[in-house]
Amino acid sequence: MRKIFTLCVMLLGMATLVTAQSAPRRDNFEGVRLSNANIVHKQGMLKISITMEFGGKHLHTDYATIYTPVLYNGSNNIELQSVGIFGRNHYYAMLRDKHPRLMSIPADWCLRRGDLPASVDYYAEVEYEPWMNGAYLAIFEQLYGCNDELLAVGDIVIDEYREIDLEPIYLFVLPERVECGVSHVSRSAHIDFPVCKSVIDPNFHGNRQEIAIIDSSLDSLSGDSNLVVTRLVVRGSASPEGGVALNDELAHERAAALVKHIKQHYNIPQGVLATYYDTNHWADLRAWVAKSDIAERQALLRFIDENSKSPNFNAMLMERFPKQYQQLLEDYYPSLRNASYDVEYDVKNFVDVDRIVAVAATAPMTLSVNELNVAATTLSEACPVFDNVIMAIVAKMPNDPAANINAANVAMRRGDLRRAEYHLAKAGTSAEADYARALYALHMGDYGEAKHLLKRLESKISHASKLLNKIEQAGY
């Protein structure tokens, strides 16, 4: 335990203390024993605990003594919750006046002279701030007499908080480099239509989002010579409750409406467009009924099997199962009134590593995962472009454990612990994932969790043993 002396006004900003008489220097306050001081940085909070024993404390009935822990470092300081010991007369005088000092102290830490000897297991926590690294924990004693006159002050420094000065080594799990070549990619979307309509309405159902998907993929196809469309399929569909001629007309018009929209964004190469029309959905209807909980399901399935080839099947179905037919109209038929879009294209991946790296520096999201892997295995891990490549990979592979381990490492290097926590939750259970979690625990000041993880990894990851030794040598 180390001790300093200073007036409380320097840290607490209390001008009334300037005239107070200082208590003599000592290792403990008279009649008080302070022990087991501990400061832990964990999960973004600084947690402070102290044992305060008042076994030898003697106090006049008109006096009160207040003990206030203060954390300070240079001009930065924070005053924590106080503990008070009150003589009988002083206590009732303050209680009568509802004095803020008395009212602010928790009941368990507001001791009467008759409670002595007593002890307090003091605990407080504050949100961690960088200035707290290297801060001192001091206890300030203030002695008050009659009429709440400040008689004396004193202070003792009982602990110092200093974080381990470590430079963690981050382990990146990079996939094996895949040779560049041609990748085959497909994209799909569909547009829904109201009953008997064939004009695209962006505000109908989820059309706005689907249109955005179509437009985005078409725009990328138009602006990149490395993307070659090999097949573009448009299907027009109509629900079967109308007549055959009307349904055929609707299916054709819906497909034509989507093709027209596509041509406004993309010049369709000759020979890649194929258009189909779907109006006979009875096989699909049977599959939907078989998976549903619709009333009289088995009877309805037998009816479909026996009559679906009849040209008047829809009218027969409506007459035989009117309640079920109404449910079909509401729950199933709307899904058939659409035009769907499927595009397939080849991606010519760059084979020039220098070009891949150049693109990675400015537009990493335009590269394929294979190309990003080439960049990641080519660039130095200390290069800022490497970090951008790693984050681009996890954006394209958001549920891949290795990609999330790497992204968590980048986030920790950038000081973005919230994002690191997000990626670690998806990092899997490998040794590399637990090592990254150990580094995260160190960043959060949770040395106990860091040691626990590193001890498990000593035989698997060489850096774990080295880091564990540094933590233990620092006394944690």
Q: Are residues 301 and 432 in the same domain?
A: no
Q: Are residues 143 and 291 in the same domain?
A: no
Q: Is residue 199 a part of any domain in this protein?
A: yes
Quick: pLDDT tens for 344-376: 888 766 557 788 888 888 999 988 888 888 889
Q: Is residue 88 a part of any domain in this protein?
A: yes
Residues 175-200 as b/e (b if ≥16 CB within 10 A, e otherwise) read: beeeebeeeeeebebbbbbeeeebeb
pLDDT at 270: 87
Q: Are residues 318 and 405 in the same domain?
A: no
Q: Is residue 177 a part of any domain in this protein?
A: no
278: domain CATH number is 3.30.1330.60
Domain residues for 342? 182-346
Does pTM surpass 0.75?
A: no
What tokens does 174 get? 């990079």
Q: Are residues 293 and 337 in the same domain?
A: yes
Task: Give the sign of the dihedral formed by CA 370, CA 374, CA 380, CA 383.
Answer: negative
Cβ distance 25 to 46 under 8 Å? no
Q: Is residue 167 a part of any domain in this protein?
A: no
**Last residue within a domain, chosen from 328, 346, 364:** 346
pLDDT at 5: 34
- Rounded Cα gap, residues 223 and 117, in angstroms: 82
Q: Is residue 2 a part of any domain in this protein?
A: no
Q: Are residues 261 and 333 in the same domain?
A: yes
What tokens does 412 get? 């920790």
Q: Which residue has the higher pLDDT, 458 or 353?
A: 458
Q: Are residues 205 and 335 in the same domain?
A: yes
Q: Are residues 419 and 326 in the same domain?
A: no
Averaged pLDDT, 153-168: 84
Q: Are residues 366 and 453 in the same domain?
A: yes
Quick: pLDDT tens for 335-344: 899 999 999 8
Q: Are residues 242 and 320 in the same domain?
A: yes
Q: Is residue 89 a part of any domain in this protein?
A: yes
Quick: pLDDT tens for 206-224: 999 999 989 888 888 887 7
pLDDT at 27: 59
Residue with tokens 């208590």: 23
What tokens does 100 get? 């803020």
In the beta sheet, which residues pair with residue 234? 275, 341
Q: Are residues 360 and 342 in the same domain?
A: no
Which band of pLDDT confidence, cut at 50, 70 and 90, is reported for residue 265?
confident
Cβ distance 69 to 77 under 8 Å? no
Highest mean pLDDT among 42-56, 81-95, 182-196: 81-95
- Rounded Cα gap, residues 135 and 148, in angstroms: 31
**Last residue within a domain, chosen from 128, 161, 194:** 161
Cβ distance 347 to 185 under 8 Å? yes
**Last residue within a domain, chosen from 293, 324, 346:** 346
Q: Is residue 17 a part of any domain in this protein?
A: yes
- Rounded Cα gap, residues 138 and 39, in angstroms: 12
Which band of pLDDT confidence, cut at 50, 70 and 90, is reported for residue 25?
very low
* DSSP label at residue 226: T
How many domains does the structure of the chain reveal?
Answer: 3
- Examine the pLDDT at 200 and tell me if it is beyond 70: yes
Q: Are residues 18 and 107 in the same domain?
A: yes
Q: For 54-74, what is the HEC assignment?
A: CCCCCCCCCCEEEEEEEEEEC
Within its chain, how far is the Cα of 113 from the centroid?
50
Averaged pLDDT, 134-153: 93
3-state helix vs strand vs coil in the chain, percent to 5:
45, 25, 30
Q: Which residues, 6 or more positions from 340, have their beta carbon under 8 angstroms from its beta carbon?
A: 188, 189, 190, 191, 233, 234, 235, 237, 258
Cβ-count burial of 405 within 10 angstroms (0-12 exposed, 13-18 middle, 19+ buried)?
buried
- Examine the pLDDT at 149 and tell me if it is beyond 60: yes
* DSSP label at residue 453: H
Decide: helix, strand or coil at residue 170. coil
Quick: pLDDT tens for 55-66: 888 889 999 999
Averaged pLDDT, 118-128: 93
Decide: helix, strand or coil at residue 108. helix
Q: Are residues 318 and 202 in the same domain?
A: yes
Which band of pLDDT confidence, cut at 50, 70 and 90, is reported for residue 180?
low
Mean pLDDT for the chain?
Answer: 86
135: domain CATH number is 2.60.40
pLDDT at 6: 36
- Rounded Cα gap, residues 381 and 417, in angstroms: 19
Q: Tell me the Ramachandran region of residue 421: left when phi exceeds 0, alpha when psi lies from -120 to 50, beta otherwise.
A: alpha
Q: How far is CA 342 from CA 55, 149, 197, 226, 230, in A?
A: 82, 85, 22, 19, 11
Quick: pLDDT tens for 384-430: 899 999 999 999 999 999 999 999 999 999 989 999 999 999 999 99
370: domain CATH number is 1.25.40.10
Report which of 38, 244, 60, 4 is spatially closest to residue 123, judged by C-alpha positions. 38
- The string of DSSP letters for 368-412 reads -HHHHHHHHHHS-TTSHHHHHHHHHHHHHSTT-HHHHHHHHHHHH
- Examine the pLDDT at 11 and tell me if it is beyond 70: no
Q: How, if at all, do strands 338-348 and 150-161 pair? A: unpaired
Q: Is residue 266 a part of any domain in this protein?
A: yes
